[in-house]
Chains A and B, each alone.
Chain A
């Protein structure tokens, strides 16, 4: 394999959350805040992303009400509050789409790896190989209180990432715990499966032990895509060791190059090859065809929100062509792809699919059609080999 993408090509995803990433976006005339809890709303957004041939969507989620604070509810009533479960939203959209990847967010700190592994495997089955999962660590006391099972934050914050690494390891083993050809339906012997091709995973770690095998046969992709967002050294280490695709938040191209150096060093330390990890940069985008109008909208939304919009990711306000210039520059620094967070939905989502994408296509930076049938395929990954399958016999020496 030569690398993640064809030379000069970049990959595109969008992050879906509520009415968009600006806290006042729900007040825009075309926003649909009253439909946020309907299947139709989410299906239509994913379909729009698919019309733009985006590689995947992520769906935001946590196990607490949205808040501007890290340590609990903020009591605000002027922003979108309330969310549906992201895995179910993705599953609801799957039968109504055909090629785009579906990557719901899952909090690993409070959930069962066995349950989530089977849910993501099933999302892969219902979408014919388009599933991923963005794993997320949550250290908040408020979220912990929803479960009442542990005290957070832990004395050593890195523990949560070590636990996340175990969690991903358990999911991966469970996805491999059935070999692809385990179902044999051998009428002569009355056996439905070849049980030698099902495997107990026998994971025993500091936080949990899981015996396996999964109750769900191996997903079509073998391994659904695992992603994580990372901003600093500890999460970089986790991402470099555990995930297939990491979302990072560079300020500019030089920052992107620095982050990539850090990530590649962690990867090497973890003994993983460079091409096993895709690096996507996140950007919040306000887009408009007319010069200056996107910035004006941003200013107007800031005024409604009562304060200037800030984000962990870089914020771009301008034309699709201007954004294409930025993406091209960052891609030059080694970034594989981009996850755009539309500031307002539908405005900035359609500006991506109908403005930015045609522009990138004119520049030959994104392909015109979906080629591969799976999400891993779209990202240039081969179908994953199964860790439990016996290696094929060596070809006989001649």
Chain B
């Protein structure tokens, strides 16, 4: 390869509340107990990962009006877990998903600036925009936001929060005991912001944090989401982990940057990636099949089918063929609080395609669901996985990956012990941290205006 070797970024996604996470395995531990988070974070830090990532959903998922009970359900509060993890890690970045619809900028800016202080510069904010009225039922304003306004609000929310982060320059606290001057500027933190969504003014309470502001992530796929990322984010969390889709997505969002006066290296593309390792490629493939069967039980296959069919299929046999009846068009009334609903918007076309696959392969319903509901991004021996990840990054299918293990909390251990050393040997992943902040790890330029005072 003629161009210089690209360095890989790696991050660890704490296993989430969907069927990727296998809870039925005997090795599966608590996804709530703090020890699980400590185990996971320490593995990621031992492996010199860039950051740990927490997703968030503000309403438990429901299917046909009942709380969905087949996957892991429930998770702890993002900010609280990350602040506690700051006490048991030293370098690992701490990235939290926080919604821009059911929060207010003053409070969120305060929380992220506090986290950045308490972690000595390791905070990141994944700005997500879920707006639905179903989630809104847990909040003061209810489902107040129209779908098409979600990124408008996110954009203004982030702009407002950035003004709050910038409201302290960083040199205000002098704390001179002799003269009795604590603050060099009585107006420290002063701000005023008026737009269609936020009409606020006053003084912000948190002095400028070590990174100036948290690293900003975006995790949406729509055109509006990509524009938002190109304009305002430091990194994109994408779902395009295959080679071709990854390259296309990578090129697409990097192309959008110039419009905002930004360079390609100002925005990192980090797809979510699952993985299964084995001593040999064949063993890994076998294990991967087994994991897929764990992830898609018969009951899970039926509920998955219901999301596309938009019907009650409670009596359907998962070990028989697909239902004869076609999906019900119109508003999806079956599943609420989940992103996958929108992934299959053309339900009739999806059903037609699935019937073809099932007939061709003589697949039962459950087998079909296993077939179509996504497979692990990286399957193989440590050497194969290391080479594949490296090939993807060198070919710009990604700038790195946010790894999503399927076992809590030890699902990252094997990767840390076997794949990471190979990447380090190949000189494409850091042998140790060279900086202290998350911006350092990600190779992002310091936020303008920071640091204000030379030490």
B205 engages A194 (CB within 8 Å): no
Q: How far is the CA of A143 from the CA of B205 in the complex (A)?
A: 11
Please name the residue on chain B nearest to A201 by beta carbon. Answer: B138
Task: Give every chain B residue within 8 A of A121 (Cβ-Cβ).
Answer: 76-77
A14 interface contact, C-beta 8 A: no
Selected interface stretch from B62-70, B269-277, B429-437: B62-70
A178 engages B77 (CB within 8 Å): no
Task: Give every chain A residue within 8 A of B73 (Cβ-Cβ).
Answer: 183, 192-193, 198
Task: Give every chain A residue within 8 A of B32 (Cβ-Cβ).
Answer: 125, 216-217
Q: How far is the CA of A6 from the CA of B276 in the complex (A)?
A: 57
Task: Give every chain A residue within 8 A of B70 (Cβ-Cβ).
Answer: 190-192
Report how many residues on chain A are interfacial, defined by Cβ distance under 8 Å: 81
B118 engages A88 (CB within 8 Å): yes
B67 engages A198 (CB within 8 Å): yes
- Interchain nearest-CB distance for B174 vs A (Å): 9
Checking B60, B103, B180, B298 against A213 with a beta-carbon cut-off of 8 angstroms, the contacting residue is B60
Tell me the total A-B contact number using a CB cutoff of 8 A.
225
Checking B59, B66, B74, B114 against A178 with a beta-carbon cut-off of 8 angstroms, the contacting residue is B74
A126 engages B69 (CB within 8 Å): no
Q: How far is the CA of A275 from the CA of B106 in the complex (A)?
A: 39
Selected interface stretch from A204-212, A307-315, A326-334, A340-348: A204-212
Q: How far is the CA of A22 from the CA of B175 in the complex (A)?
A: 15
A65 interface contact, C-beta 8 A: yes
A145 interface contact, C-beta 8 A: yes
- Interchain nearest-CB distance for B153 vs A (Å): 14
Task: Give every chain B residue within 8 A of A88 (Cβ-Cβ).
Answer: 79-80, 83, 111, 114-115, 118
Please name the residue on chain A nearest to B137 by beta carbon. Answer: A211
B180 engages A64 (CB within 8 Å): no
Please name the residue on chain B nearest to A149 by beta carbon. Answer: B104
Q: How far is the CA of A253 from the CA of B88 in the complex (A)?
A: 44
Chain A 13-33 interface 0/1 with B at a Cβ cutoff of 8 Å (1 = within): 000000000001011110101
Checking A28, A84, A194, A198 against B206 with a beta-carbon cut-off of 8 angstroms, the contacting residue is A84
Interface residues in A62-90 by Cβ distance below 8 A to B read 62-65, 73, 75-85, 87-89
Interface residues in B182-224 by Cβ distance below 8 A to A read 182-186, 188-189, 198-207, 209
Please name the residue on chain B nearest to A35 by beta carbon. Answer: B175
A148 engages B87 (CB within 8 Å): no
Q: How far is the CA of A216 from the CA of B38 in the complex (A)?
A: 18
Checking B38, B69, B168, B177 against A26 with a beta-carbon cut-off of 8 angstroms, the contacting residue is B177
B84 engages A94 (CB within 8 Å): yes
B299 interface contact, C-beta 8 A: yes
Q: How far is the CA of A27 from the CA of B182 in the complex (A)?
A: 9
B300 interface contact, C-beta 8 A: yes
Q: How far is the CA of A43 from the CA of B140 in the complex (A)?
A: 34
B103 engages A115 (CB within 8 Å): yes
B126 interface contact, C-beta 8 A: no
Given A146-B106, A198-B60, A215-B60, A126:B182 Cβ within 8 A = no
Task: Give every chain B residue within 8 A of A118 (Cβ-Cβ).
Answer: 76-77
Q: How far is the CA of A209 from the CA of B133 in the complex (A)?
A: 13
Given A64-B202, A190-B297, A198-B60, A209:B87 Cβ within 8 A = no
Checking A89, A185, A215 against B23 with a beta-carbon cut-off of 8 angstroms, the contacting residue is A185
Task: Give every chain B residue within 8 A of A365 (Cβ-Cβ).
Answer: none
Q: How far is the CA of A122 from the CA of B137 in the complex (A)?
A: 21
Please name the residue on chain A nearest to B104 by beta carbon. Answer: A147
B38 engages A82 (CB within 8 Å): no
B117 engages A84 (CB within 8 Å): yes
B186 engages A75 (CB within 8 Å): yes
Q: How far is the CA of A34 from the CA of B298 in the complex (A)?
A: 59
Please name the residue on chain A nearest to B88 by beta carbon. Answer: A95
Q: How far is the CA of A92 from the CA of B38 in the complex (A)?
A: 13
Interface residues in B45-87 by Cβ distance below 8 A to A read 57-60, 66-67, 69-77, 79-81, 83-84, 86-87
Q: How far is the CA of A80 from the CA of B177 in the complex (A)?
A: 11
B447 interface contact, C-beta 8 A: no
Q: How far is the CA of A77 from the CA of B179 in the complex (A)?
A: 11
Q: How far is the CA of A304 from the CA of B178 in the complex (A)?
A: 10
Task: Give every chain A residue within 8 A of B86 (Cβ-Cβ).
Answer: 39, 92
Task: Give every chain A residue within 8 A of B60 (Cβ-Cβ).
Answer: 198, 213, 215
B256 interface contact, C-beta 8 A: no
B188 engages A85 (CB within 8 Å): no
- Interchain nearest-CB distance for B104 vs A (Å): 5
Task: Give every chain A residue within 8 A of B72 (Cβ-Cβ).
Answer: 192
B84 engages A65 (CB within 8 Å): no
Q: How far is the CA of A129 from the CA of B25 in the complex (A)?
A: 28
- Interchain nearest-CB distance for A125 vs B (Å): 6
Checking B114, B139, B182 against A85 with a beta-carbon cut-off of 8 angstroms, the contacting residue is B114
B186 engages A185 (CB within 8 Å): no
11 CB < 8 A contacts A-B: A39-B117, A77-B183, A78-B181, A85-B111, A145-B202, A147-B106, A187-B24, A193-B69, A193-B74, A210-B137, A217-B32
- 9 additional A-B pairs beyond A63-B205, A64-B205, beta carbons within 8 Å, are A34-B175, A63-B106, A75-B186, A87-B79, A118-B77, A148-B198, A189-B299, A192-B69, A198-B73
